[in-house]
Amino acid sequence: MDALTREPVQTQPRARSRLRVWGMILLCLLVIAAIVWGIWFFPAGSPASKTRDREAGQPIPVVTAVAATKDVPIYLDGLGTVQAFYTVTMKVFVDGPLLSVNFKEGQDVHKGDVLAQIDPRTYQAALDNATAKKAQDEAQLANAKLDLARYQKLIANNYTSAQQADTTKALVAQYTALVQQDQAQIDTARTQLSYTTVVSPINGRTGIRQVDPGNIVHAADTAGIVVITQIEPISVLFNLPQQALPAVAKAMEAGNATVLAMAQDAMGGASRLLDSGTLTVLDNQVDSTTGTIKLKATFQNARHRLWPGGFVSVRLQTDVAKDAVVVPPSAVQRGPRGSYVFLVADDNTAKRRAVTIGYEDDQGSVVTMGLKGGDKVVIDGASRLSDGSKVAVAKPDTGSTGPEQPTAPGTNRQRQGTRG
């Protein structure tokens, strides 16, 4: 009887616990439903979505530019290494104490300038010795010639033997050879003496001095006294893919192979024009390991902006596209069906137009098919457009760049577009 009376008391808390659990589950479902409804009708609660809702049916603001018709230079881009036109390591040819160094580090020197002086006394003595030896042999030669003349007169009167005359004649030939040998010794000694004065063989700029005055220098030294580099003019070596060989050869044959040396910015791109030069050498073979051709350009470098050993971006002009239709690169859009632009019609509607891009750089895209000069294209705001959208043309920012070519061209790249 007691057990029957206690059973309803135990079941009531269990029922309340189940009701509490189901209530919490229902509350969670309601919260999730509210979140889903908010995301669906108010995506992320962003101001852009609210603005889009408010602007539904309104013209889309865009910035436009007019397709220009002009001549566009065609460039090929590469990475180049600056190389001195001439590089000379000034080494000594004789041994001896280095008496003086007659240049300053980083000084511009000219051909024939005295750079250093080695003690010449030993070599001067050798020259004097060779000169004296020649004088001695010349005296003996003169005496032998007189004897030969006397013996020839005596032979004519049969007062001496022919053998005596032949011996004297041989002695004259011997002394003649000795004099010639002495002259060679004099030339050698004079040359050795001249090596004690170190002169510059080229016009250039000296580097860091390798030897100080007072040291003993040797002809076998490998370091030398100083390195002289000619930086005016200067050369740049660079590589291009072998596919560019026909265009490069054609440009060299036409004589208009202009080369631009551009400074590299912190990100490795070309940013500033350093100098303009000409292509002077096209290597006689293709590097089979890399599939590239090596080229050499010469720059006057009057302002010394190119320095040996530095890296520069090189732009080789191979051709000029005459009367090309050019638009800013930002006007060209790309999709699964190829490149296209949005034209702005007279009724301020956007029209999608498939185009073919033949050449493109940071300053402009050459449209070979799909546009004509004077067409108005969208350069900002195209991501929100579709074919037939109403647009409102806004004025471009002051800092925006149109299709005009600047003084120093930027990085170029050649592309072959596809029709959409």
Q: How far apart are CA 167 and CA 15, in angstroms?
A: 152
pLDDT of residue 208: 95
CA–CA distance from 59 to each of 55, 160, 347, 389 (Å)?
8, 133, 12, 8
Can you tell me the distance from the alpha carbon of 391 to that of 347, in angstroms, rounded to the nearest whole number? 9
Q: Find how far residue 288's CA is from the centre of its chain.
A: 22
User: According to the model, what pLDDT value does residue 272 have?
Assistant: 86
**How many other C-beta atoms are found inside a 10 Å radius of the C-beta of residue 155?**
15
Q: Which pLDDT tens digit goes with each residue over 45-65?
A: 445 444 554 455 688 899 999
CA distances from 407 to 85, 147, 318 (A): 27, 88, 18
What backbone torsions phi and psi does residue 122 show, to the nearest 5 degrees? -60, -40
Residue written as tokens 């030069």?
A: 277
Nearest to 325 by CA among 295, 360, 278: 360
Cα–Cα distance measured from residue 359 to residue 416, given in angstroms and rounded to the nearest whole number: 7
76-85+229-321, which class in CATH? mainly beta
Distance CA 118, CA 116 (A): 7
- Are 310 and 346 within 8 A, CB to CB? no
Do the beta carbons of residue 304 and residue 401 sit within 8 Å? no
Q: Which of 292, 296, 315 is nearest to 242 (CA)?
A: 292
Say yes or no: domain 60-71+322-413 is CATH 3.60.20.30.
Answer: no
Radius of gyration of the chain (CA): 45
From first to last of its 420 residues, the chain has per-residue pLDDT tens of 444 444 444 555 566 677 777 777 877 887 787 777 666 555 544 454 445 544 556 888 999 999 999 999 999 999 999 999 999 999 999 999 999 999 999 999 999 999 999 999 999 999 999 999 999 999 999 998 888 888 777 777 776 677 777 888 899 999 999 999 999 999 999 999 999 999 999 999 999 999 999 999 999 998 899 999 999 999 999 999 999 999 999 998 887 789 999 997 755 455 689 999 999 999 999 999 999 999 999 999 999 999 999 999 999 999 888 999 999 999 999 988 889 999 998 888 999 999 999 888 888 899 999 899 899 999 998 888 888 888 888 876 544 444 333 334 444 444 433 333
* Residue 346 burial by Cβ neighbours in a 10 Å radius (0-12, 13-18, 19+): exposed
Under 8 Å between Cβ of 376 and 403: no
Reference 148, options 168, 167, 162, 163; nearest CA is 168
Distance CA 95, CA 219 (A): 6
3-state class of 202 per DSSP?
coil
How would you class 366 by CB atoms within 10 Å of its CB: exposed for 0-12, middle for 13-18, buried for 19 or more?
buried
Kindly list the distances between the CA atom of residue 205 and the CA atoms of 298, 310, 330, in Å, as whole numbers in the listed order: 18, 16, 46
Q: What is the pLDDT of residues 309-367, one digit of tens each?
A: 999 999 999 988 899 999 999 999 998 888 999 999 888 899 999 999 988 888 889 99
Task: Report domain 88-217's class.
Answer: mainly beta
- CB within 8 A of 161, min separation 6: which ones? 155
Omega into 233 within 30° of 0, i.e. cis? Answer: yes
Residue 329, number of CB atoms within 10 A of its CB: 17
Please, how many CA atoms are within 13 Å of residue 111, restricted to the half-sphere of its CB?
Answer: 5
pLDDT of 94 reads 95
Q: Find out whether 367 and 375 touch, Cβ atoms under 8 Å.
A: no
